[in-house]
């Protein structure tokens, strides 16, 4: 960690706390991020002084402040992503009766930005909007990777390796060759499938959101639900609506201001 800058370490702390709304002790943060406790405390103090983090007066645990989330919401408000996505997601969720999510691609990562629940009774899949999907181990991740060249897809994976987050159940892809074989199939059928991988008992179908300039996908849209209700055969039933939603999202996805100036 010696070559990691304080700014990078601070961002690591923000990402960690985003997944722990109840807060974490300084010692726990230091252990998880492999930081000296003194450095973790100093960076947390800076975040707290700037109102990006709050320390509970009783537990002494640190959590993110509402201001941090508000910045993200303010950004989404400016680029209108939620406004664009939500009506389409609501419609897709209603038609499929399952949980629908959209993630956006940025700097080789996928970030959840919106969701809609279509199941009104019985078994429901209703995850929190936590960290974005792991690229090689999820339907969304593999759908997005399939829009890259093989070389670029492998380069994205090699940044972190085949290492699963702690809360993931497993992955059918564990090597570069397996990934390339899977991406070839996804390109042929135009969608990706993940069954009992990131979450046991959950199956997801995902389609890439096409870029109007024929670049890598802007993100992905997915339909997920309990595996007992989502066998592979249901893909044929869901796919027309899923692919249509992905195409429509690509057509109306807002263009960033910097791209308008090019």
Report whether pLDDT(178) > 80: yes
Residue 223 lies in a domain: yes
61 and 84 inside one domain: no
Contact 153, 179 (CB under 8 A): yes
137 and 43 inside one domain: no
108 and 58 inside one domain: no
Residue 74 lies in a domain: no
pLDDT digits (tens, 9 = 90+) for 42-57: 999 999 998 889 999 9
Residue 89 lies in a domain: yes
- Hey, what are 86's tokens? 């939500």
Q: Final residue of a domain: which of 48, 69, 90?
A: 69
Q: How far apart are CA 31 and CA 186, in angstroms?
A: 39
Report whether pLDDT(248) > 90: yes
Residue 1 lies in a domain: no
- Structural domain count of the chain: 2
pLDDT band per the 50, 70, 90 thresholds, residue 66: confident
Residue 75 lies in a domain: no
Q: Final residue of a domain: which of 36, 69, 102?
A: 69
Q: Final residue of a domain: which of 41, 69, 97?
A: 69
Least confident of 89-103, 166-180, 246-260: 246-260
Q: How far apart are CA 147 and CA 15, in angstroms?
A: 27
43 and 165 inside one domain: no
- The pTM assigned to this predicted structure is 0.72
**What's the domain range around 228?**
80-260
pLDDT digits (tens, 9 = 90+) for 135-166: 999 999 999 999 999 999 999 999 888 888 87
146 and 200 inside one domain: yes
Contact 97, 223 (CB under 8 A): no
Calculate the CA 9 to chain-centre distance.
Answer: 21
Identify which of 220, 217, 222, 186 has the alpha carbon closest to the alpha carbon of residue 204: 222
Least confident of 102-106, 140-144, 205-209, 223-227: 102-106
111 and 227 inside one domain: yes
pLDDT band per the 50, 70, 90 thresholds, residue 76: low
Residue written as token pair 């990934």: 179
224 and 154 inside one domain: yes
pLDDT value for 78? 53
117 and 245 inside one domain: yes
pLDDT value for 97? 93
- Residue 230 maps to which CATH number? 3.30.450.40
189 and 249 inside one domain: yes
pLDDT digits (tens, 9 = 90+) for 78-130: 556 667 788 999 999 999 999 999 998 888 889 888 899 998 777 888 787 66
Average pLDDT, the chain: 87
Q: How far apart are CA 24 and CA 46, in angstroms?
A: 16
pLDDT value for 223? 97
Q: Which of 9-18, 169-178, 186-195 has the highest mean pLDDT?
A: 186-195
Report whether pLDDT(23) > 60: yes
26 and 95 inside one domain: no
- Residue 13 maps to which CATH number? 1.10.10.10
87 and 204 inside one domain: yes
103 and 208 inside one domain: yes
Residue 109 lies in a domain: yes
pLDDT value for 187? 97
Q: How far apart are CA 195 and CA 235, in angstroms?
A: 12
Task: Give Cα separations from 153 to 108, 109, 166, 177, 182 (angstroms).
Answer: 9, 12, 23, 12, 12
């Amino acid at each position: 960690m010696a070559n990691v800058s304080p700014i990078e370490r601070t961002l690591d702390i923000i990402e960690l706390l985003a997944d722990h709304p109840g807060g974490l002790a300084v010692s726990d943060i230091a252990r998880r991020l492999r930081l000296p406790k003194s450095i973790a405390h100093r960076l947390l103090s800076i975040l707290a002084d700037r109102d990006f983090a709050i320390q509970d007066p009783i537990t002494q645990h640190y959590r993110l402040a509402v201001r941090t989330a508000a910045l993200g919401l303010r950004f989404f408000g400016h680029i209108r992503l939620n406004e664009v996505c939500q009506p389409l997601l609501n419609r897709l969720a209603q038609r499929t009766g399952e949980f629908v999510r959209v993630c956006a691609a940025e700097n080789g990562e996928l970030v959840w930005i919106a969701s809609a629940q279509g199941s009104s009774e019985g078994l429901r899949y209703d995850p929190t909007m936590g960290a974005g999907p792991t690229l090689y181990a999820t339907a969304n991740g593999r759908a997005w990777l399939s829009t890259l060249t093989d070389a670029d897809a492998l380069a994205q994976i090699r940044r972190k390796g085949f290492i699963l987050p702690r809360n993931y159940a497993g992955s059918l892809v564990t090597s570069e060759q397996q990934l390339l074989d899977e991406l070839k199939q996804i390109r042929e059928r135009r969608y990706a499938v993940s069954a009992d991988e990131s979450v046991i008992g959950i199956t997801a179908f995902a389609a890439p959101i096409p870029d109007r300039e024929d670049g890598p996908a802007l993100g992905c849209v997915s339909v997920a639900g309990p595996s007992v209700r989502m066998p592979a055969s249901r893909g044929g039933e869901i796919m027309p609506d899923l692919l249509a939603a992905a195409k429509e999202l690509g057509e109306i996805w807002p263009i960033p201001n910097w791209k308008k100036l090019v």
